[in-house]
């Protein structure tokens, strides 16, 4: 099957080990290098697409608008990241908006289905990543196509109330419900630990949306961001705030977050950026650092 052209690498500085990409994937993406998996928790990737003016979510007439222009290179990269992950995690808002979607590599980019599958085999992963949905309310349509798909195992991470709501209906055999806390919103750490206890994972991929991403970033649980910059302007106004890929959290000025650029790739006018985010220092070290700043008074 015909695929997109190779991405052009403009900059790359990543330390670690290259994943064993099948030749066609290596030709299209280049080497994909990741640092070692941390000892204490899975390595957590995230992937978003934004317009040049920083819009990740836009709606008109109740329909979600296309941010990436259905770009083939973007889909190829999404498939690659899904192929490396034990699980893809999304918030319930993203699920409700993409009713037909399946968070698998071959669904987003069918031409490389067999390469993605080979890569997963090489990495010792299950044929498809777990599809993980996070919801406090448990308001999930159990008839969604994802939940009818025998080849995909889905996990809903929710509250006690969310589970009680779902248990009033008959659950599809593909869906497993895990309770992370009595009440929502769930902390990102509780989501990660609940999942990891149920099935130990090495690499997780957070695919949004902005609210869920905000929780993971706020808790210092995003190691890397893969960001596609689509060369369009979406605009925003008071009626259409159109968020970027973080909602519900303020970092500046109290808690600024700076990333380190790991790679820049290009296809036509699209840019594919990759940033690493350092883990925040433990609270005790932060207090010590503040205490050691000399007073200007
Ligand atoms: N540009 C991109 O790359 C990209 C990527 C993904 C999504 N999107 C877009 O993002 C939009 C959705 O945005 P959103 O910010 O509403 O997305 P979201 O985070 O997917 O959904 C929010 C909902 O997810 C659940 N949730 C999220 N974090 C939670 C937490 N910590 N604990 C418990 N529940 C949590 C809650 O569900 P309950 O209400 O059920 O409790 C919440 O109402 C969609 O239009 C989608 O197309 C864009």
Nearest CA-CA partner of 98 in 61, 63, 130: 63
Q: Which long-range contacts (CB under 8 A, 24 or more apart) does 122-128 make?
A: 122/19, 122/20, 122/22, 123/19, 123/20, 123/84, 125/85, 125/86, 126/86, 126/153, 127/151, 128/104, 128/152, 128/153
Residue 83, ligand 1, Cβ within 6 A: no
What tokens does 150 get?
A: 């025998």
Atom of ligand 1 nearest to the CA of 93: 21
3-state SS assignment for residue 218:
helix
Instruction: Tell me the CA distances in angstroms from 143 to 104, 125, 149, 162, 169, one per residue in order.
Output: 18, 27, 11, 17, 11
CA distance 17 to 12: 14
Distance 257 CA to ligand 1 centre (A): 21
Q: How far apart are CA 132 and CA 118, in angstroms?
A: 22
pLDDT in tens, the chain (297 residues): 889 999 999 999 999 999 999 999 999 999 999 999 999 999 999 999 999 999 999 999 989 999 999 999 999 999 999 999 999 999 999 999 999 999 999 999 999 999 999 999 999 999 999 999 999 999 999 999 999 999 999 999 999 999 999 999 999 999 999 999 999 999 999 999 999 999 999 999 999 999 999 999 999 999 999 999 999 999 999 999 999 999 999 999 999 999 999 999 999 999 999 999 998 776 666 555 544 444 443
CA of 207 from ligand 1 middle (Å) equals: 9
Q: Is 97 in the pocket of ligand 1 (CB under 6 A)?
A: yes
Ligand 1 atom nearest to 49, measured from its CA: 3
Across 202-211, b (16+ Cβ under 10 Å) vs e yields bbbbbbbbbb
Percent of the chain as helix, strand, coil, to the nearest 5: 30, 25, 45
What's phi and psi for 103, nearest 5 deg? -90, 65
With the most atoms of ligand 1 within 8 angstroms of its CB, the residue from 48, 51, 92, 179 to mutate is 92
Answer yes or no: is the C-beta of 212 below 6 A from any ligand 1 atom. Answer: yes
Q: What do you get for the CA distance between the two ends of the chain, in Å? A: 69
């Amino acid at each position: 099957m015909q695929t997109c052209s190779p991405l052009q690498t403009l900059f790359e500085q990543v330390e670690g080990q290259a994943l064993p990409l099948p030749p066609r994937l290596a030709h299209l993406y280049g080497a994909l290098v990741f640092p070692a998996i941390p000892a204490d928790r899975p390595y957590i990737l995230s992937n978003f697409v934004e317009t040049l003016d920083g819009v990740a979510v836009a709606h008109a007439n109740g329909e979600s608008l296309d941010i990436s222009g259905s770009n083939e290179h973007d889909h190829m990269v999404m498939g690659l990241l899904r192929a490396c992950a034990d699980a893809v995690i999304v918030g319930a808002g993203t699920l409700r908006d993409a009713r037909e979607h399946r968070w698998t590599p071959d669904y987003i980019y069918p031409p490389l289905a067999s390469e993605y599958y080979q890569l997963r085999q090489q990495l010792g992963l299950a044929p498809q990543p777990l599809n993980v949905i996070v919801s406090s309310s448990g308001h999930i349509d159990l008839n969604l196509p994802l939940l009818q798909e025998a080849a995909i195992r889905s996990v809903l991470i929710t509250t006690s109330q969310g589970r009680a709501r779902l248990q009033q209906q008959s659950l599809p055999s593909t869906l497993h419900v895990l309770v992370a806390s009595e009440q929502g919103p769930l902390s990102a750490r509780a989501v990660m630990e609940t999942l990891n206890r149920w099935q130990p994972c090495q690499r997780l991929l957070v695919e949004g949306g902005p609210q869920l991403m905000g929780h993971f970033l706020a808790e210092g649980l995003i190691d890397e961001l893969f960001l596609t910059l689509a060369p369009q302007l979406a605009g925003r106004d008071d009626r259409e705030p159109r968020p970027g890929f973080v909602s519900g959290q303020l970092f500046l000025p109290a808690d600024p977050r700076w990333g380190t650029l790991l790679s820049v790739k290009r296809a036509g006018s699209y840019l594919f950026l990759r940033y690493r985010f350092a883990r925040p220092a433990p609270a005790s070290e932060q207090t010590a650092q503040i205490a050691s700043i000399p007073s200007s008074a």
